[in-house]
Amino acid sequence: MTYLDALDDHPFAARLRRVLIGPLLCVAVAMPALAAGTLDKARESGKLTFGYRADARPFSYADESGKPNGFSVALCRRIADAVKEELKLPALAVDFVPVTAENRFDAVEQGKIDLLCGTATPTLARRAKVDFSIPIFYAGIGAIVREDVSRRLRDALANRPDPTQPIWRGSPGLMTERATLAVVGGTTIERSLIDGLKARRIEVSVVPAPDYPTGLQMVVDRRATALFGDRPVLLDAARNGASFSELTVLDRALTREPLALAMARGDAPFRLVVDRSLSRLFRSKEFAAFYTSFFGRPDADTLEFFQALALPE
């Protein structure tokens, strides 16, 4: 019998093992299991779950048959195909579930959806909750108004200078005008815009709209003077919405912002699949036709822009 064997048989050794090993086992039991990544969950469950906005055409919307459609949705379908190839699971199911402007990022953070397919602008505050893909588009905040909106308000929203004409005492030009600005989808109206309107004697109130159709109808019904939101979505509504034909989108883009797809934080393997899929599509010869089906035929500058967004292999 060796010295170590004898030590193992000593009562003190048994107590020592209980003192040292027992707490370690308790810690191991108490530690939560590491969260499975999206690819692991997809392999285990046999499906991917994507979230989409049903009201943000042409990026993300429900078509006449109720199925998800749009530029962002089509990109997500390409990503789903890439995941199937990565996992070697051609029968992997892909579920699209609707989300709202208010709950979309919570749905990602809580693991209810694997990818957000819509019009999400990456911000520092949002990056505290979720990660984002490479940009899929550059848009910006715009405003839509009725065709018969007052020239004074239209010029103010478009940031055109006041007419250089004399204003006589008691003339309508000295009267204070009131405007109700509706905002949708987490849109923020810059303080400088509101201050600029007030400087022109236009009193402003800001009200939320839960979605684009509701906000647009508020303008049609004169419950709101203007609706602020993603400018491409407003342009599409003005072009294709029969009930919104009397609305017009102002030429001015209030901001220039990237749009991206949102996913869970810290999931590097899934994000790599997402960014690789987008990059390869943006560089491909088929991208022009892909883009055309949602926005019309792209010019050479547009194609070059998307190629610049793509990451090199």
Task: Note the pLDDT tens digit of each residue in 204-261.
Answer: 889 999 889 899 999 999 999 999 989 999 999 888 877 788 899 998 888 888 999 9
Q: How many CB atoms lie within 10 A of CB 73?
A: 23
Question: Looking at the structure, do residues 148 and 206 belong to the same domain, yes or no?
Answer: yes
One domain for residues 132 and 43:
yes
**Are residues 135 and 265 both part of a single domain?**
yes
User: In the listed set 229, 249, 269, which residue is the last one of a domain according to the structure?
Assistant: 249
7 inside domain = no
Q: Do 76 and 126 belong together in one domain?
A: yes
pLDDT at 99: 95
Segment 4-17 shows an average pLDDT of: 45
Is the residue at 28 inside a domain?
no
**221: exposed, middle or buried (Cβ count in 10 Å: 0-12, 13-18, 19+):** exposed
Domain stops at, among 230, 249, 268: 249
Domain boundary among 204, 228, 249: 249
Domain membership of residue 4 (yes or no) is no
Cβ count within 10 A of residue 273? 20
Tell whether 51 is covered by a domain: yes
Q: Which of 198, 300, 190 is nearest to 252 (CA)?
A: 190
pLDDT band at 189 (very low <50, low <70, confident <90, very high): confident
| Percentage of residues in the chain having pLDDT higher than 70 | 84
Residue 292 and residue 267 share a domain = yes
Query: What pLDDT digit, counting tens, does each position of 253-293 carry?
Result: 888 889 999 999 999 999 999 999 999 999 999 999 999 99
Mean pLDDT of the chain: 85
**Tally of domains in the chain:** 2
More confident residue, 89 or 200: 89
Confidence of residue 53 (pLDDT cuts 50, 70, 90): very high
197 plus 55 within the same structural domain: no
Q: Give a yes or no: residue 50 inside a domain.
A: yes
Tell me, yes or no, whether 84 lies in a domain. yes
- How large is the average pLDDT for residues 162-191? 68
Assigned token pair, 76: 């997500």
**Taking the CB of residue 255, how many other CB atoms lie within 10 A of it?**
13
* Structure token pair of residue 185: 């989808």
Q: In 3-state terms, what secondary structure has residue 120? A: strand
Phi, psi of 190 (to 5 degrees): -65, 140
Q: What's the pLDDT tens digit per position in 125-159? A: 999 999 999 999 998 889 999 999 988 888 888 88
**What CATH number does the domain containing 123 carry?**
3.40.190.10
Mean pLDDT confidence for 74-96: 97
Q: How far is CA 276 from the centre of its chain?
A: 19
Q: Domain residues for 151?
A: 141-162+173-249
Same domain, 43 and 61: yes
Q: What pTM value is reported for the model?
A: 0.78
Task: Kindly write down the DSSP assignment for every residue of 183-241, as one continuous string.
Answer: EETT----HHHHHHHHHTTEEEEEEEESSHHHHHHHHHTTS-SEEEEEHHHHHHHHHH-
What is the residue-wise DSSP string for 30-88? HSPPPPPPHHHHHHHHSEEEEEEESEETTTEEE-TTS-EESHHHHHHHHHHHHHHHHHT
Taking 80 as the threshold, does the pLDDT of residue 170 lie above it? no
